[in-house]
Amino acid sequence: MMSDGALSQDEIDALLSGVDSSSMGGSSAPAATMAPPPAKVNFDKNALQTFFASTTNALSANLAALTGASVTLTGPQVNAFNRDSFMSSLPDMVTAISANYTSGFPGEHIFILPEETARAIASLMTKEENIQLDDMAMSVIGEVISQMVGTQITAMTDKTKNKSIAAASPVAANVPKATAALPAGDFAVMNYNLNLGDNLSHQMWEILGAGPSADISNGLNGGGQSPVNAQMPGMDMSGMGMQGMQMPGMGMGMQGMGMQMPGMGMQMPGMGMQMPGMGMGGLGTANVQPVQFPNLMQPRLGAHEAGNIGLIMDVSMEMTVELGRTRKLIKEILGMGEGTIIELDKLAGEPVDILVNHKLIAKGEVVVIDENFGVRVTEIVSPMERINDMGYN
């Protein structure tokens, strides 16, 4: 019986789970990634691709510094996807890192790493082999992405002149791809190639929701934010008949609307409407002065404060005597046994250190009192030095 081109429910389920439909009696599907659907999000693909490609050298340098390896990040290729079409390009297990933009171009911003790529990065960072992708590894991955996002935001601020761009602290989780929190609808995907110095080809996907992808590309092309995600700083409302709206500080000027608001800084000549005394600039210029902060200097302990030390005279503190110190390799420590002699860093007859809560307060010599060891104090550290060591300076 000839097929009319439609897939059966079994074949659809098999495709979604990554199973070859040929094993179910259907025709074998090619292994290549499904072509992305026509872009429905309103973003400039070339603007995004050019900008994010310009940051790859700096990102590579950051990754190399963090991992201590020769790292190269190339790309990206930018395309529009929806959840279903993007899922087909992912391995079964992924590390998803949420780093949403909170201001400037607010909205969804996500990184996706294959599980093995995340493991390789965490291993380089911690210098551990066969590392488990536990909470510690996720924290390490989050720190790597945080450094990358910071570099991107710096470049984006310089390019778009939008100084309010900020992102939430990245949160990483290793999850099955079906549970990865992807944006709804269509979104922009930047596909990078990553070389971690292990002669393996790794991938990384950076995802922008519909709002940020449109706003960022618009900003890169010299425009403001789209009306949907517009915020007060730099708001562009030319399409709403309110041209020239400005809000430096709290001043608001709407020349051309015929409205005057002395004291509020909101002028609309011609509408005969006045609202004096609102205190927002305008005809009344605000008296703006820089804030004067005191120097961040911690005061010395004065005579009055020193008198209050009597309040803590009954507090117990740990006193120890240190004969000397040395450093040993782990293999040397594990190899110690009965009869092993450990050479210290002090000479024979040299005064020992007397410590209170691990702070040096005096020096002395070891004596024997009946059957116990003791220490005769031979030198007292100056009171000011003791106070400084105890954290009162």
* Boundaries of domain holding 115: 45-220
Query: How many beta carbons lie within 10 A of that of residue 37, not counting itself?
Result: 13
Q: Indicate whether 380 belongs to any domain.
A: yes
Instruction: Give the pair of three-digit tokens for residue 201.
Output: 């080809």
Residues 215 and 319 grouped into a single domain: no
Counting Cα atoms < 13 Å in the Cβ hemisphere of 25 gives 6
Instruction: Give the pair of three-digit tokens for residue 38.
Output: 């026509």
Q: Indicate whether 38 belongs to any domain.
A: no
CB distance 176 to 91 below 8 Å: no
Give the CATH number, domain containing residue 325.
2.30.330.10
Give the CATH number, domain containing residue 63.
3.40.1550.10
Helices (H) and strands (E) in the chain, counts: 10, 14
Residues 215 and 344 grouped into a single domain: no
Q: How far apart are CA 47 and CA 19, in angstroms?
A: 37
Instruction: Examine the fold and report which residue of 202, 220, 238 is the final residue of a domain before the chain moves on.
Output: 220
pLDDT tens digits, one per residue of 80-113:
999 888 988 899 999 999 999 999 999 999 999 9
Query: How many beta carbons lie within 10 A of that of residue 193, not counting itself?
Result: 15
Q: Indicate whether 175 belongs to any domain.
A: yes
pLDDT at 22: 41
Specify the pTM: 0.50
Q: In the chain, how many domains are there?
A: 2
Q: Which phi-psi region, left, alpha or beta, contains residue 57 (left: φ > 0; alpha: ψ -120 to 50)?
A: alpha
pLDDT tens digits, one per residue of 44-59:
899 999 999 999 999 9
Summary mean pLDDT of the chain = 75
Which residues contact residue 272 at a Cβ distance below 8 angstroms, ignoring those fewer than 6 apart?
A: 258
CB distance 363 to 373 below 8 Å: no
Instruction: Examine the fold and report which residue of 220, 247, 271 is the final residue of a domain before the chain moves on.
Output: 220
Span 336-344, average pLDDT: 88
Beta strands of 177-254 (E only): which ranges?
Answer: 187-195, 202-208
Instruction: Examine the fold and report which residue of 220, 240, 265 is the final residue of a domain before the chain moves on.
Output: 220
Confidence of residue 300 (pLDDT cuts 50, 70, 90): low
